[in-house]
Amino acid sequence: MRISLSADSPTIFYVSMHSCWSSKPSVVLHGGPNLSSPPIAAADFHSFSSTVDIVLGNEKHTLIKSGTFSSSQVFDVHIRSTDKNERFEWKASTGAEVASLEGQRRGMKLVRVSTGAVVAAWTRPNIGMKKKGKLRFLVRWSIPESYK
């Protein structure tokens, strides 16, 4: 699967997916346009629990459900510049951030818990058999040098 800015633009990232029987992570984000590009992030979905292990560069984070009957998931990230942990939460949403993607009405938003700021939004597209989703970062973001 490829990630690009639009259907007509060149591939920026490549995503490979593996079954739960593979020794590889469930999803790998490659830092280039094809499978041979180096991995920059990975997610491993656990079959018998609701946790997801995410690796960014050499740092591991775990997404956990925020409550027993909740669909939202939280994770903590260590911010080197402040030497503190910051909590983020993926929440189901039908709000303006998801609507701005012009896809399906229901989606997810990533919220920085300490400020309530929406960092990113995701939804499935309305049309397009090849498209898997639409994602937009709503704040300025760059890959830290340690992840490259």
**What is the span of the domain harbouring residue 19?**
1-45
- Residue 146 pLDDT > 60, yes or no? no
Mean pLDDT of 30-57: 82
More confident residue, 127 or 16: 16
% of residues, the chain, pLDDT over 70: 85
Distance from chain centroid for Cα 108 = 10
- Say whether both 71 and 41 belong to one domain: no
Mean pLDDT of 31-50: 82
Question: Per-residue DSSP letters for the chain?
Answer: -EEESSTTSPEEEEEEE--TTSSS-SEEEESSSSTTSPEEEEEEE-TTSS-EEEEETTEEEEEEESSTT---EEEEEEETTTTEEEEEEEEEE-SHHHHTTTS-S-EEEEEETTTTEEEEEEE--SS-SS---EEEE-S-----GGG-
Q: What is the pTM of this model?
A: 0.68
- Residue 38 pLDDT > 60, yes or no? yes
- Say whether both 29 and 81 belong to one domain: no
pLDDT, tens only, 72-97: 878 888 777 788 888 888 888 998 99
- Say whether both 36 and 82 belong to one domain: no
- Residue 143 pLDDT > 80, yes or no? no
Structural domain contains residue 11:
yes
Which tokens sit at 56? 């960014």
Structural domain contains residue 60:
no
- Rounded CA-CA distance 114/91 in Å is 15
The amino acid sitting at 70 is S
| Lowest mean pLDDT segment, chosen from 27-36, 54-63, 67-76 | 67-76
Mean pLDDT of 54-78: 77
